[in-house]
Amino acid sequence: MAYTTPITTAFEMQRATIEQSQKAFEQTLQFQQTMNEAVVDSFDSQESAQRRGVELTQTLVHSYLDVIESSLPGAAGTVDEMRAAVDEQYDFLLENHAEVFETVAGEYEEGIDAYDELTGDYVEAVDEQVEMLVEAHEELEAQSVDVAEEWGDQLETLQDQVEDLQDQVSDVQERAAAAVDA
């Protein structure tokens, strides 16, 4: 019926908005998950780059010690001791560096897993609530359409009655005019 078209259109637009909001929410969560994965993936390259930086520094210190050794005759024994001490410290640093990155990456991944589980549960709950909302919304639409159709039917009946009454009044007026003329 013509009376229900605006009502149906309004309800369809509202449902479309609800569904688009739900999709936007889910896409936001997917984006966050993608960003978390990118951070985890970057740990290896960060560790590698930092490790190369530490190793480069160690090489520079060795080069410096080589210069000292070649510049000072008789310093070879002392330089060798210094070199051994430097290597020991750099080995310790590199070992701790690897452990720190392993720990950080592990903790971050555990945090992501917990986050993913929590958001999964949250999305499931939101999906259920949106489904209930859409069902209630559809029921409200059906009731609104029924009321509008009933109202439209009553309006048509009233219009028919008014037209019948107008016809009767016209008939009475025509008879009265004919009686006056006769």
Q: What is the pLDDT of residues 68-90, one digit of tens each?
A: 888 888 888 888 999 999 999 99
Domain contains 56: yes
Domain contains 182: no
Any long-range contacts for 18-21 (C-beta under 8 Å, 24+ apart)? 18/130, 18/133, 18/134, 18/137, 19/130, 19/134
Domain contains 62: yes
Domain contains 157: no
Domain count, the chain: 1
pLDDT average, residue stretch 178-182: 81
What range does the domain containing 21 cover? Answer: 3-145
Domain contains 120: yes
Domain contains 175: no
CA 166/CA 153 separation, integer angstroms: 20
pTM above 0.85, yes or no: no
Domain contains 169: no
